[in-house]
């Protein structure tokens, strides 16, 4: 779907049609962002992605309360967020659930752009704190960068096209 969805916006979009690119990305994130990272993906990709994830990766769910209706028997109404590590705080208030229910983003100018609530939730999953550094590896619509600024973290947009991660 890389070339189909983003080919007109990014010269290297087709590389994301190759599973090995995603597998390499997980290895890259695990090596270079040991404090934590999050990666959004399609539920149908879990079967081949999870075997390449570190053992402690957690599968979180974004349930879309409003979504595109597709010509299929069972609708795709949720998206996976693979969560690796993040800051631990067992007494955290308010607690953060491993699922979020909210509508999709509308009119962001980029297909697949996430709503503000989703971006804020991902940073909450990682327990990002003011002063942390967010590396937004897929800056796209700028939504995660804006969430980082709202959370008071230092934001760096990567020149590479990868997903967000947080460093302390």
pLDDT at residue 158 in the model: 72
Collapsed DSSP state (helix, strand, coil) of residue 16 = helix
pLDDT at residue 116 in the model: 94
Q: Which of 158, 144, 111 is nearest to 2 (CA)?
A: 111
Q: 153 with 128: CB under 8 angstroms?
A: yes
pLDDT at residue 110 in the model: 64
What domains sit in the chain, N to C, each tagged with a CATH number?
Answer: 2-167 (3.40.50.150)
Q: 82 with 112: CB under 8 angstroms?
A: no
**Block means of pLDDT (10 residues each) for the chain, length 168 residues?**
51 74 92 94 94 97 87 89 95 93 78 88 96 85 91 81 47
């Amino acid at each position: 779907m890389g070339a189909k969805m983003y080919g007109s916006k990014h010269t290297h979009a087709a590389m994301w049609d190759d599973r090995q690119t995603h597998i390499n990305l997980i290895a890259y994130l695990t090596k270079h962002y040991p404090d934590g990272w999050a990666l959004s993906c399609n539920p149908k990709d879990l079967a081949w992605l999870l075997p390449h994830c570190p053992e402690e990766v957690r599968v979180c769910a974004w349930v879309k309360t409003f979504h595109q209706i597709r010509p299929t028997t069972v609708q795709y109404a949720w998206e996976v967020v693979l969560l690796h590590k993040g800051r631990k705080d067992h007494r955290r208030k308010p607690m953060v659930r491993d699922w979020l229910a909210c509508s999709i983003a509308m009119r962001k100018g980029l297909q697949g752009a996430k709503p503000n609530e989703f971006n804020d939730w991902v940073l909450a999953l990682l327990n990002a704190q003011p002063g942390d550094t967010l590396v937004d590896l897929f800056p796209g619509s700028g939504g995660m960068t804006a969430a980082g600024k709202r959370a008071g973290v230092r934001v760096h947009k990567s020149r590479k096209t990868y997903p967000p991660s947080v460093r302390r």
